[in-house]
Homo-oligomer: A and B are copies of this chain.
Amino acid sequence: MYSKRIESFLKRKKLKIGDMVTVTKEGRKISGLLMPQTVSGNPDILVIKLVDNGYNIGVKMEAGAAVEKGKGTEPVLVEEEAEFELGKTKTSGKLKFSAGKPKISLISTGGTISSRVDYRTGGVYAVKDPGEFLYNIPELAKAVNIRKLVTPFTKMSEDMEPQDWKQIARAVARELNSGDRGVIVTHGTDFLHYTAAALSFFLRGLTKPVVLVGAQRSSDRGSSDAGMNLLCAAHTAVSDIAEVGVCMHGRIDDDYCLFTRGTHVRKMDTQRRDAFRPINEYPLAKVWPDGKIMVKNRKHKKRDDNGKVKPDLKFEPKVAMLKTYPGSDPDVINYYISRGFRGFVIEGSGLGHVPVQAKKNWTSIIKKHTKDGVPFVITPQTIYGRINTSVYTNLRILYKETGAIPGGDMLSEVALVKLGWALGHTKDPEKVREIMLTNYAEEITSRTLVGTFLY
């Protein structure tokens, strides 16, 4: 809330939140959207969101400062009925959108994108009210009409589990099949790429965009990436790219976002805004906050508004991911087996090696359990590149003798999700193998394009 002084002053000027304004102070002119005051900020500081880069800046309204209605194009806003669903509680209300914009649903699951800074401690905490973060991004109303806001749960993504993926997939399928042009899923970033992979396999027959989006800095920070990411996500959600993907900053400056396929995306940095990178593939598209979309991968699936998506949620969560390294202990596989685990992703080295002549021989243990019908999928711990079993003699032996499944260029994270999904459908080792070697969501590329390395 602004101070009474500012509130009455805005009223006098007939200015309201979301209006384009121009502030003049000490000879400088600043144009942007008038924003609500953040909960714990100084109520005498006017918050303006710059249109060019999405930054929030604060202007102290003291003697010599003036604010006028700005010159930006003002869309015609119409009030529409929107549904809200928080857990099992359903309500509805009015939200304002530009007239005639396509309808989407927004599924909010928590994470930094729906977090705020705690100004006492400086830490970030999760906001429980899903509407609160929308409040900070009035531009969204100019791109889409949010028909429904669903909050199945809120958690930071590092706490997400396979059960949560199912809830999200159910909500996405239900809303898409209710006629939405697309769906946005807001999500914490830590394990965002696991959810992206899970939705890629779970949502069979998808014909509309499912856009996962997060933020590396919380929505109420000046430098937050939440606004631009969400705006680009909205444009993507109504585009013709009918895929599950992640839409986040493409570079550290607020230039464009990348929309990257859910099976080829990975969080590659702890804090950079452009941390989500395509792996072994180009992104599907570059998306600008003004709505421009440059398709980078022309082979993407195309929209069909008449299509119905079918969630296929059978999943075996007892799958484990292990990594080989010098001195690594393959006996841990026996431990997992004794605890009821039914499949493994092994992050092998180089083209798909595991230690064979080291004191601890991984091959013999893999071989033993493969014979008992336990699948082992080998993925590259290098992240980029692909398993190639034909180059080295001991690699041929490994795959021939042990029956391990070469993961191609699948990311370890993607292979783990896919293996759980495969084991959810069949106990037959041959069928699991066949599923792992078959493309279900473009997770295996036929060849790696040179320019995709470190994209």
- In the assembled complex, A433 has its CB within 8 A of some CB on chain B: no
A96–B165 Cα distance when bound, in Å, is 66
> Least Cβ distance of A162 to chain B in Å?
5
- In the assembled complex, A26 has its CB within 8 A of some CB on chain B: no
A162 lies within 8 A of B327 (CB):
yes
- In the assembled complex, A16 has its CB within 8 A of some CB on chain B: no
- In the assembled complex, A453 has its CB within 8 A of some CB on chain B: yes
Interface string of A47-68 (1 = CB under 8 A from B): 0000000000000000000000
B335 lies within 8 A of A325 (CB):
no
Choose among B268, B269, B272, B392 the residue that contacts A124 (Cβ–Cβ < 8 A): B392
Choose among B266, B335, B350, B384 the residue that contacts A335 (Cβ–Cβ < 8 A): B335
B450 lies within 8 A of A252 (CB):
yes
B349 lies within 8 A of A383 (CB):
no
Q: Which residues of B contact A355 (CB under 8 A)?
A: 158-159
* Interface of A, helix, strand, loop or mixed by DSSP: loop
Q: Which residues of B contact A189 (CB under 8 A)?
A: 350
B349 lies within 8 A of A123 (CB):
no
B357 lies within 8 A of A155 (CB):
yes
Interface string of A322-349 (1 = CB under 8 A from B): 0111111101100110010000000001
Of A275, A325, A388, chain B has the most CB atoms within 10 Å of the CB of A325
Interface size on A, residues (CB 8 A): 80
In chain A between 113 and 127, which residues have their CB closer than 8 angstroms to a CB of chain B?
A: 118, 121-125
B356 lies within 8 A of A159 (CB):
yes
Q: Which residue of B lies closest to A393 (CB)?
A: B123
- In the assembled complex, A148 has its CB within 8 A of some CB on chain B: no
A353 lies within 8 A of B123 (CB):
no
Q: Which residues of B contact A317 (CB under 8 A)?
A: 327
Choose among B122, B252, B326, B396 the residue that contacts A162 (Cβ–Cβ < 8 A): B326
B335 lies within 8 A of A332 (CB):
yes
Interface string of A142-166 (1 = CB under 8 A from B): 0000000000000111111110110
In chain A between 98 and 141, which residues have their CB closer than 8 angstroms to a CB of chain B?
A: 118, 121-125
A388 lies within 8 A of B271 (CB):
yes
Q: Which residues of B contact A352 (CB under 8 A)?
A: 270
With contact pairs A123-B391, A317-B327, A390-B122 given, residues A267 and B396 touching in the complex (Cβ less than 8 Å): no
B269 lies within 8 A of A123 (CB):
no
B323 lies within 8 A of A158 (CB):
no
With contact pairs A156-B394, A159-B356, A335-B332 given, residues A190 and B350 touching in the complex (Cβ less than 8 Å): yes
With contact pairs A123-B392, A252-B450, A393-B118 given, residues A268 and B159 touching in the complex (Cβ less than 8 Å): no
A270 lies within 8 A of B336 (CB):
no
B385 lies within 8 A of A275 (CB):
yes
A357–B392 Cα distance when bound, in Å, is 44
In chain A between 387 and 414, which residues have their CB closer than 8 angstroms to a CB of chain B?
A: 387-388, 390-394, 396, 413
B124 lies within 8 A of A393 (CB):
yes
Q: Which residues of B contact A385 (CB under 8 A)?
A: 269-272, 275
Interface string of A366-399 (1 = CB under 8 A from B): 0000000000000010111111101111101000
- In the assembled complex, A432 has its CB within 8 A of some CB on chain B: no
Q: Give the 6 A-B CB pairs with smallest separation, nearest first.
A: A270-B385, A190-B349, A190-B350, A158-B353, A269-B385, A454-B454
Listed A/B pairs (28) with beta-carbon separation below 8 Å: A124-B391, A124-B392, A155-B357, A156-B353, A156-B357, A157-B349, A159-B358, A160-B358, A161-B326, A161-B327, A164-B326, A190-B350, A268-B384, A268-B454, A269-B453, A270-B351, A270-B352, A270-B387, A271-B351, A271-B391, A272-B385, A275-B382, A275-B385, A317-B327, A331-B339, A332-B332, A332-B336, A335-B335
A interface residues, Cβ below 8 angstroms from B: 118, 121-125, 155-162, 164-165, 189-191, 194-195, 252, 266-272, 274-275, 277, 317, 319-321, 323-329, 331-332, 335-336, 339, 349-359, 380, 382-388, 390-394, 396, 413, 416, 420, 450, 453-455
